[in-house]
Amino acid sequence: MNDYVLVSDSTADLAPEVIKELGVNIIPFTYSIDDEVFGYYLDERDGDISDFYGRLKRGAMPVTSQVNPVTYKDYFEQIVKEGKDVLYICFSSGLSGSYHTCLMGIDMLKDKYPDANVIAINSLCASIGEGLLLYKAAKKKQEGLGINELEKWLRDTRSNIRHWFMVEDLFHLKRGGRISTVEAMVGSALKIKPILSVDDEGKLFVKSKTRGISKALEYLVARLVEEGGDLTKQHIVLGHADAPEKVSKLKEMVIEAGVPSENIIIAPIGPIIGTHVGAGMTALAFEQS
């Protein structure tokens, strides 16, 4: 059996040091802002996350674009040429056409390398949910799971990942069609903080609405307590879109709930997800027990 490489994309939003620890490959997605095009690399080599959110707060209207089939084909070909297989964990098909595009790229690759073993998994996850699934999969690979065993584990586990997001700015939800203009105006006036999650098809939806940041963070922690089982055994990811103070507070609350500090990963939410949720979003992802 060939050795294999675990691959994901930059919507997983894990910090570079975590990616290095896991030994996984990351395909960069692209975005444009103020007529400039950037590749979103997790190490920010092409575009600074703080600069992105600064522009967003000044009124810039970024646009994201998915990877084309040829880029997928070329990326996977580099690995296949080394005699290795590929297991790719892709951003949710409920939020992007990337999964179907990557399948086109794999078909193109197999025209040239018919024996290539390249497996694409639709994560059905978004942002730090995808990041948590990737983190757990990489640990399974380090434990010795083969590519077929890990593929099965991913398909069995992806629906157990729980995503909870608190959104600060209603404008970007309105822009993306998640809420109406009237809801956005009334919600902003009343300081409503929508709580979002991901459904079984990997689509983002508004689950609840809270008034004020404190209530919103309490809601996130309540979902962890309700669905997380034995919290001393949980490994979780906390994400923030240029909101370090809020995520720091959320971390304190999660630790008070029973999650060991060493089991918590803090992840900066990058421009791909940030385009659609805006600055200030704070999120929590864990596996349901």
Using the predicted structure, report yes or no on whether residue 184 has a pLDDT greater than 80: no
> How many Å apart are CA 266 and CA 13, to the nearest integer?
10
pLDDT band per the 50, 70, 90 thresholds, residue 180: low
Output 105-112 pairs: Cβ under 8 A, ≥24 positions apart.
105/68, 105/69, 105/70, 105/71, 105/72, 105/73, 105/75, 105/76, 106/72, 106/73, 106/76, 108/69, 108/70, 108/73, 109/72, 109/73, 109/76, 109/77, 109/80, 112/77
Q: Does residue 167 or residue 88 have the better pLDDT? A: 88
Q: Does residue 226 or residue 171 have the better pLDDT? A: 226
Q: What does pLDDT average to over the chain?
A: 91
Q: Region 96-105: what's the mean pLDDT? A: 95
Q: What is the pLDDT of residues 17-70, one digit of tens each?
A: 999 999 999 999 999 999 999 999 999 999 899 999 999 999 899 999 889 999
Specify the CATH number of the domain 4-159.
3.40.50.10170
Using the predicted structure, report yes or no on whether residue 182 has a pLDDT greater than 50: no
Block residue for tokens 């991913």: 154
Using the predicted structure, report yes or no on whether residue 12 has a pLDDT greater than 80: yes
Q: Where are the domains of the chain?
A: 4-159, 161-287
Residue 98's CB is within 10 A of a number of other CB atoms, namely 23
Q: What is the pLDDT of residues 144-162, one digit of tens each?
A: 999 999 999 999 999 999 9
Instruction: Output the pLDDT for position 168.
Output: 79
Instruction: Output the pLDDT for position 155.
Output: 97
Both tokens assigned to 269? 């939410």
Q: Are 28 and 68 in contact (CB under 8 A)?
A: no
Domains 4-159 and 161-287 in one fold: no
CATH of region 161-287, choose from 2.40.40.20, 3.30.365.10, 3.30.1180.10, 1.25.40.10: 3.30.1180.10
Q: What is the pLDDT of residues 110-136, one digit of tens each?
A: 999 999 999 999 999 989 999 999 999
Instruction: Output the pLDDT for position 209.
Output: 83
